[in-house]
């Protein structure tokens, strides 16, 4: 008989939480018992998983259940307070919030990139920011070959990145209902439908947003290379299927474009969609619901030595959040 695990999902009724439960099922993760955790408000609700019903419990009840693994996606404050409690009770916590990512004692993991730093003894493991994950999966094999000097990235981020609030705001705007308030809480400061908002997360002192800083700091930590220059502009677009990124890279070493294609084609977790003659390139519409990162528009940038342009799309709720967390869990149970 193969081993099964008690798995808690904290934030089980949220957009990423429900996606985590979906991915656990799809990936046939060996869940013996699911412990769906949410706030007092949602406690008592029923979650269906693999044909069985599980009752949503409070965080305190979740800790008392002593899960082996706890996947967190319930906001930074819940993670700050409860992740250590779950870890103390013996769970390996995989946390999707930004709360623990830059803590020097916490590993920040994209399995395809630095999954080898896991040893199965972790208390809390941090899941990186969605826009960082999808950028780094294809850049990692190229960084190993040619060493990245600088990245200039502009993002086109789906409203699903703001959870149900973002989807609700766009749905209501499209239906002609009041545009900026959802249950009294605005998802964005402005209408998003047919608009573009160059502002994700709050502004830091230097007028970059925290989302932009995440792309800088998390790239350094995950690649364990603090010499890479990263300039990010993160932007919200009226899209639902996934995040897109226009990524411009400058390498230290010269590269061969054919080799770049070959390398990306055999990179785990990457699907190359690049055939301009047939109008083949990645788009959120087709990335939706997929676990992979889609890469296309791969072309030499002649405005700089060893420059390369890429267009990178992924379902931010999947590889950008739930899938990456479940993949970390899959690696952890191999180490146990």
Instruction: Please name the residues in contact with 227: beta carbons below 8 A apart, sequence gap of 6 or more.
Output: none
**Catalytic-residue membership of 130:** yes
One residue of 147, 150, 220, 290 binding its own copies per CB under 8 A: 150
Residue 165 touching its own copies (CB under 8 A): no
Question: Which 246-275 positions form the footprint of its own copies (CB under 8 A)?
Answer: 246, 248, 274
CB contact at 8 A, 210 and 96: no
Give the shortest CB-319-to-its own copies separation in angstroms: 17
How many residues sit in the footprint of its own copies (CB under 8 A)? 54
One of 130, 143, 199, 220 is an active-site residue; which one?
130
Q: Which is closer to its own copies, CB of 252 or CB of 301?
A: 301
Burial class (CB in 10 A: 0-12, 13-18, 19+), 286: middle
Return the structure tokens found at 54: 């599980």
Q: Which is closer to its own copies, CB of 253 or CB of 305?
A: 305
Task: Measure the CA–CA gap between 333 and 317, rounded to whole angstroms.
Answer: 23
One residue of 63, 93, 298, 332 binding its own copies per CB under 8 A: 298
Return the structure tokens found at 303: 């405005």
Give the shortest CB-151-to-its own copies separation in angstroms: 8
**Catalytic-residue membership of 99:** no
Residue 289 touching its own copies (CB under 8 A): no
One residue of 111, 128, 241, 320 binding its own copies per CB under 8 A: 241
Q: Nearest to residue 231, comparing CAs of 126, 135, 103?
A: 135
Counting Cα atoms < 13 Å in the Cβ hemisphere of 200 gives 27
DSSP state letter for 209: B
Q: Which is closer to its own copies, CB of 20 or CB of 308?
A: 308
User: Hey, which residues are catalytic here?
Assistant: 130, 243
């Amino acid at each position: 008989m193969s081993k099964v695990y008690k798995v808690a999902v904290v934030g089980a009724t949220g957009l990423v939480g429900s996606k985590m439960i979906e991915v656990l099922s799809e990936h046939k993760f060996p869940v013996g018992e699911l412990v769906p955790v949410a706030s007092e408000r949602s406690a008592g609700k029923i979650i269906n998983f693999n044909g069985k019903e599980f009752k949503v419990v409070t965080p305190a009840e979740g800790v008392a259940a002593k899960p082996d693994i706890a996947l967190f996606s319930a906001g930074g404050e819940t993670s700050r307070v409860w992740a250590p409690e779950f870890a103390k009770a013996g769970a390996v916590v995989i946390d999707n919030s930004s709360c623990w990512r830059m803590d020097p004692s916490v590993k920040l993991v994209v399995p395809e990139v630095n999954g080898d730093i896991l040893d199965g003894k972790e208390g809390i493991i941090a899941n990186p920011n969605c826009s960082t994950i999808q950028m780094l999966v294809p850049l990692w094999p190229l960084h190993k070959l040619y060493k990245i000097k600088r990245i200039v990235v502009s993002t086109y981020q789906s409203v699903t990145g703001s959870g149900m609030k973002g989807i609700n705001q766009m749905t209501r705007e499209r239906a002609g209902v009041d545009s900026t308030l959802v249950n009294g809480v605005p998802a964005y400061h402005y209408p998003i439908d047919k608009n573009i908002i160059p502002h994700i997360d709050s502004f830091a002192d230097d007028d970059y947003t925290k989302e932009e800083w995440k792309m800088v700091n998390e790239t350094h930590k995950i690649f364990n290379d603090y010499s890479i220059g990263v300039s990010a502009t993160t932007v919200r677009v009226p899209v639902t299927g996934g995040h897109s990124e226009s990524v411009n890279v400058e390498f230290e070493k010269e590269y061969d474009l054919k080799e770049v294609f070959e390398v990306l084609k055999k990179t785990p977790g990457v699907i190359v969609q690049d055939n301009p003659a047939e109008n083949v390139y990645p788009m959120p519409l087709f990335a939706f619901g997929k676990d992979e990162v889609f890469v296309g528009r791969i072309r030499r940038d002649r405005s700089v030595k060893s420059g390369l342009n890429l267009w990178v799309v992924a379902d931010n709720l999947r590889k950008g959040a739930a899938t990456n967390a479940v993949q970390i869990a899959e690696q952890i149970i191999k180490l146990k």
